[in-house]
Chain A
């Protein structure tokens, strides 16, 4: 039987980041997934993927936060907590360093979420149809 390639374990830790970036993940948890000691794990992860697990996790959270600022009408604080960060202050700082502007400015620089929402046309048609009761002339011809 071919032994498992050592990087396969590191990939498991990276997959864990992708699946659980919304949870408070620490290096210990990730290292366990890779079956390595925390210090050894961070070094090996960087060797395999070119950045530390912390950087990988943080950039994934930034990417997801940017998507939520574009695709939802939730508050900045809510977006921050949704991607697994607990401090709005450090979220804003990291976001600014990553995208060159504050979360609020980023949202304002993109079209509003309501105009971007990929709501199917059938929904727009069904939900947008006015209630017939708003038309007085219909009342006499109602089928029931």
Chain B
């Protein structure tokens, strides 16, 4: 059976993203390695302390030879427009998570609101990626 280990998150600035996800969202640092043989590629991953097997790979938008300048610029713009897709986080208490993250200065696009499936809030990372915090109603 397939499982998820890493999810790619494009970011404009890895240092900024790392500080955001660890200090404001509450994830922990997992990997931070710079590989000179790959043109200084930096492998940075963060994950929820309660889920050692899952991590977000905070990926800088690469230039050549991975992406040509035009594609890289477009990708950065798509991220800045919030159109690159995000991650769904779950919580036991959406309102409490909202207040905790809000208190640390996280930019929310939607306050916790009741949905058919539970309570749901939305926030952005500094690059513009849209993430959600969901408290699922007990089935």
Tell whether, in the assembled complex, residue A72 and residue B32 are in contact, meaning their CB atoms are under 8 Å apart: yes
Q: Given A64-B28, A71-B31, A72-B32, answer yes or no on A18-B49 (Cβ-Cβ < 8 Å).
A: yes
Q: Determine how close the nearest CB of chain B comes to the CB of A24; give it in whole angstroms.
A: 13
Nearest CB in chain A: distance from B15 CB, A = 12
Q: A18-B49, A127-B62 are in contact. Are A74 and B32 (CB under 8 A)?
A: yes
What is the CA–CA distance of A133 and B63 in the complex, to the nearest angstrom? Answer: 13
Complexed CA–CA distance, A133 and B50 (Å): 46
Q: Which residues of A contact B (CB under 8 A)?
A: 18-22, 64, 67-68, 71-74, 82, 113-114, 117-120, 123-124, 126-133
Size category of the B interface is 20 to 34
Task: Tell me if A73 and B38 are in contact (CB < 8 A).
Answer: no
Bound complex: CA of A33 vs CA of B14, how far in Å? 34
Which residues does chain B contribute within 8 Å of A131, judged by CB atoms?
Answer: 64-65
User: With A72-B33, A114-B35 known to touch, is A120 a contact of B62 (CB < 8 Å)?
Assistant: no
Chain B residue at minimal CB-CB distance from A21 = B49
**Who on chain A is nearest to B30 by CB?**
A71
- Contact (Cβ within 8 A) B35 A68: no
Q: Is the CB of B32 within 8 A of A126?
A: no
Residues of A within 8 A of B26 (CB): 19-20
Residues B29 and A126 in contact, CB atoms below 8 Å apart: no
CB distance from A71 to the nearest CB of B (A): 5
Q: Is the contact region of chain A dominated by helix, strand, or loop, or is it mixed?
A: helix
16 A-B contacts (beta carbon < 8 Å): A18-B49, A19-B50, A20-B26, A22-B28, A64-B28, A71-B33, A72-B31, A73-B33, A74-B32, A119-B33, A119-B41, A123-B38, A123-B43, A126-B62, A126-B66, A131-B64
For the complex, what is the distance from the CA of A127 to the CA of B36, rounded to whole Å? 11
Question: How distant is the Cα of A71 from the Cα of B50 in the complex, in angstroms?
Answer: 18
Q: Which residues on A sit within 8 Å (CB–CB) of B33?
A: 71-73, 113-114, 117, 119
Q: Chain A residues near B81 (CB, 8 Å)?
A: none
Closest residue of chain A to B67, judged by CB? A126
Say how far B41's CB is from chain A's closest CB, in angstroms: 5
Q: Mark B52-79, 1 if CB is under 8 A from A, else 0.
A: 0000000000101110000000000000
Interface centre among B22, B26, B29 (most CB of A within 10 A): B29
A27 to B67, CA, bound (A): 50
Interface residues of B in 3-45 (CB under 8 A from A): 5-6, 22, 26, 28-35, 37-39, 41, 43
With both chains docked as a complex, state the minimum distance between the C-beta of A106 and any C-beta of chain B, in angstroms.
Answer: 17
